[in-house]
Structure 1
Amino acid sequence: MKSRFYHRLLAVNVDRISVQTEDFDVAECYSVLREAEGDGAIVTFTGIVRELAQEARLAGIELEHYPQMTHLALEKLVADARSRFTLGAVTIIHRVGKLAAHEQIVFVGVTSRHRQAAFDACQFLMDILKRDVPLWKKEWHEDGSGQWVAAKDSDKKAAAKW
């Protein structure tokens, strides 16, 4: 019979990484993170498609990627976070394809024994994801126009602090 300690070792370092077209259920994502035994903190971030353009109202965005490249970048990002912070479970879900304004686009969640590591790791993951993970975004406006979105200086500055 395997001991409870052995079960805990198996439960630690549970990573869930998904790049998908389908929406995700935040409550379900949280529930999965909640299963990380022994951790006292769960921190999550959910990103929503928001309007960036000034000229025309946003109808939505389209995210393109190279599946293997994107998944490998996310795996590397999680490994980097694990080398910096003491983490239990990590979940990253990023949607691709066409998304309407106000739809969910990204979920990042982490567990840790202590809140500061969880807060820092979640922010680190999101900051570096925005800068380093190969995803290309095009905005679509209600007037039918569209434009590719360049990386923002604020995202580069946020990632630079790490």
Structure 2
Amino acid sequence: MTNVTTVRVQTQDFSVADEYALLANDNQDGAVVNFIGKVRDFNDGSAVTDLTLEHYPGMTESVLDQICQQARERWPLNKVTIIHRVGTMALGEQIVFIGVTSAHRKAAFAACEFLIDFLKTKAPFWKLEANDTGSKWVEARDSDEQAAKMWQK
């Protein structure tokens, strides 16, 4: 295994096809699993017109690297990619890409789910949702915390 980890925090969009091609460019893995998160038009029953994500530069990348390492300790993974966008994004735009490869699908699916659950609760990102009446900071969701707790050893 080559054990490649890629972590990027960026303002520009990413190409799912390009990221998939980088993950699947060899024959040692039988599974490639991706998750793509997008800006949706509602949250908690309120309309959303756009989303602004802020982060703590340097610390964010460090936390994402640590999450990737934790996933590697749990599952036999080859490649792991996390790309998270920051800045203001319109409805339907991509926010996050998580991709993992492994010899077998169960490890790849589990690791991908683990990565997004821990990213949502551990990485220092802040969401500002805008709607027709103004903007509000989004509080952490209890459901995200519960999802991350399921992974505790």
Q: Of 18, 28, 45, which aligns to 1:54?
A: 45
Cα offset, 1:54, TM superposition: 2.5
2:97 pairs with one of 107, 122, 127: 107
Q: Secondary structure at the match of 1:71?
A: helix
Report SS of the residue matched to 1:72: helix
In structure 2, C-alpha distance between the alignment counterparts of 1:92 and 1:98, rounded to whole Å: 19
CA-to-aligned-CA distance 1:104-128 (integer Å, 9 cap, x gap): 0000000000000000000000000
| Structure 2 residue aligned with 1:16 | 6
In 2, Cα distance between equivalents of 1:123 and 1:45: 8
Aligned letter for 1:113? A
* Large movers: runs of 4+ above 4 Å: none
Percent pairwise identity? 50
**Equivalent residue number for residue 4 of structure 1:** none
Q: Please give the root-mean-square deviation of Cα atoms over the aligned residues, in Å.
A: 1.1
- Structure 1 residue 37, shift from structure 2 partner: 3.6
Structure having the higher strand fraction is 2
CA drift at 1:15: 1.0
Change (3 A) 1:88 1:97: same
Task: Provide structure 1 residue ranges, at least 5 long, that are not aligned to the other structure.
Answer: 1-8
Residue 29 (structure 1) aligned to one of 19, 23, 40:
19
Q: Which amino acid aligns with 2:126?
A: W
Match of 1:67? 57
User: Could you tell me how far apart the structure 2 residues matched to 1:71 and 1:121 are?
Assistant: 18
AA matched with 2:63: A
Q: 1:38 is paired with a residue of what secondary structure? A: coil
How big is the shift at 1:36? 4.2
Query: Which structure has the larger Rg?
Result: 1
Q: Secondary structure at the match of 1:79?
A: helix
Q: Classify the secondary structure of the residue corresponding to 1:88.
A: strand
